[in-house]
Copies of this chain bind each other. A is one copy, B any other.
Amino acid sequence: MTLGVTDLERSRRFYKALGWTESSGSQTEVAFFQVGSIAFALFGRESLADDADVSPEGSGFPGFALAHNVASESEVDVTLLEAVAAGGKLIRVAEKAPWGGFRGYFADPDGFLWEVCYNPFFPLDEHGFVQLPQ
């Protein structure tokens, strides 16, 4: 999963302020973070578009949200506060969702959305990762 960002150093600082540990495989122009089984990468927005051979033009809602599932409603609130303290923007204060969970949203420095969610129907495993029913 690669985010194309407008200011790599700003984004690098933000995700490290969230408590993420950067991989030693990072380089000046790309930052990697291991998130469970996923490599999460930060790369320049223009560089990413260029690598895919598409136009970098685009604006508005990007049509996706990342999510961080936590173990309780109070942990949703704490995680949102931590994200704001790290420089994130509060987008939606946490509240009950129609489907029975509890969630709020923050945005990273580029406005990419993160949902922070307590889903009582999908338990977390011992590493804190969500486990869907098969």
* Chain A interface residues toward B at CB < 8 A: 1-5, 21, 23-25, 32-39, 41, 45, 48-49, 51-67, 69, 91-92, 97, 103, 105, 110, 112-113, 115, 121-122, 125, 127, 129-134
Q: A3-B64, A23-B133, A37-B127 are in contact. List 13 more A-B contacts (CB 8 A).
A: A4-B61, A4-B63, A23-B134, A25-B121, A34-B132, A37-B37, A39-B132, A51-B115, A58-B61, A62-B62, A62-B63, A62-B64, A63-B110
Taken together, the copies of this chain in the complex come to 2
A134 to B23, CA, bound (A): 5
Q: Are A58 and B66 in contact (CB under 8 A)?
A: no
Q: Are A65 and B39 in contact (CB under 8 A)?
A: no
